Structure 1
Amino acid sequence: MTSKSMRSFAGGILVAAGICGAAYFFDSEETASTKTVEKLSDDEMKNKLTSEGYVIHTEIEYQEQLDELKANQEVAEKGTSEKIIYRTVLKVTKGMTSIDVGKHLKRSKIIPNAQDFFNEVEKKGKANNLRPGSYVIDSEMETEEIISIIFK
């Protein structure tokens, strides 16, 4: 780029900045003087918001609704004392390890932690006793019971 074209470019930027600045200052004064602020009373504001679909509550009404909601949740939690039992059919194939079994049982929500299951199998020394087959396991079974079923 030559020095002449660089000067032309810089001049163009200055002219553009000046036009933008003038438009900003002259336009902002004009719009500020033509704006009118509509003052509404409390009742007029409530009526306008209600007509647009909003629900308006006082602080006390809001707090009462929150308290009622919390009470309903507590009742619902007390009413649902049923325990969910998960059941899965575990298909052990040749080449699977106790780590694979633990991961499958974790995915099926039978055990909470696959690593703890693996550690328990290792502690009992049954890692090499895994036999291929299909086993029905559910979440009510204890870890020792699961190990005794799968590892012969």
Structure 2
Amino acid sequence: MNKRNTRAFAFGILIAVIAFGTAYFLNKPGQTPNRTIDESSAKKFLQANSYTVLTNEEYTLLQQTDAKDQNENKEVKEEEPAEENTEQEEESQKVYQLTIESGMTPGEIASLLEKASVIDQAADFGNYMEEYGYSKKIQLGTFELNHNMSYKEIAKIITKS
């Protein structure tokens, strides 16, 4: 192949790339120029995708009935016996303040939590912290914990993650 043929071939490729590039950038598939959305087509689209369509009147009526239901629930809650208040007081009494200081190991933290009856087994909690990578992210500070929390919840609180 001589120089002249090579130049002609390269020029042909250049022209083809320009033609394809122009067609690619000027032709936008899926867009129609006169596309308009009216109320009925929007409503059909929303209902087809499992949405509920309400008018303003229906919406205000729904809000009013919801407010009435909430007022009725408040009245029922006020009539409940004082027995539940004692249960809530017991729950609030079992909150433990954990203070993590510089130099504390995950094992020491776990043993403090076990002594305070926040967790059942210090070894299990220590293993959980190591296994899921929380032991390297422990933050210094004071944290409120209770005995109803899972290992994951406790770990997220003391690592602030």
Larger radius of gyration: 1
> Under a length normalisation based on structure 1, what TM-score does the superposition of the two structures give?
0.44
> Under a length normalisation based on structure 2, what TM-score does the superposition of the two structures give?
0.41
